[in-house]
Amino acid sequence: MTQRPETSIPELLSDHAAIEAVRSRAAREAALKTAAAGKPVAVWRDGAVVWLQPEEVLARLSAKPVA
């Protein structure tokens, strides 16, 4: 097993782009799983919570490339 170089927690937390990429992928995956289960997904739009139907979530996210 190869060992990765040790990176400190402050170094990891300072990589805002990497954190945002992981957060975005996790949110996308959660929304897709929820929609695939036939449940609506809550999103924030124009200062309010809006519930999207599973069909809309699946259509929007399947057309969007994964970042």
Write out pLDDT tens, residues 10-48.
998 999 999 999 999 999 999 999 999 999 999 999 999
Burial of 54 (0-12, 13-18, 19+ CB in 10 A): middle
Q: Would you list the domain boundaries of the chain?
A: 9-63
SS (H, E, C) 16-47: HHHHHHHHHHHHHHHHHHHHHCCCCEEEEECC
pTM: 0.72
Distance of CA 26 to the CA centre of its chain: 3
Token digits of residue 38: 């036939």
Residue 1 has pLDDT above 70, yes or no: no
Residue 58 has pLDDT above 80, yes or no: yes
Q: Enumerate the β-bridge partners of residue 48.
A: 45
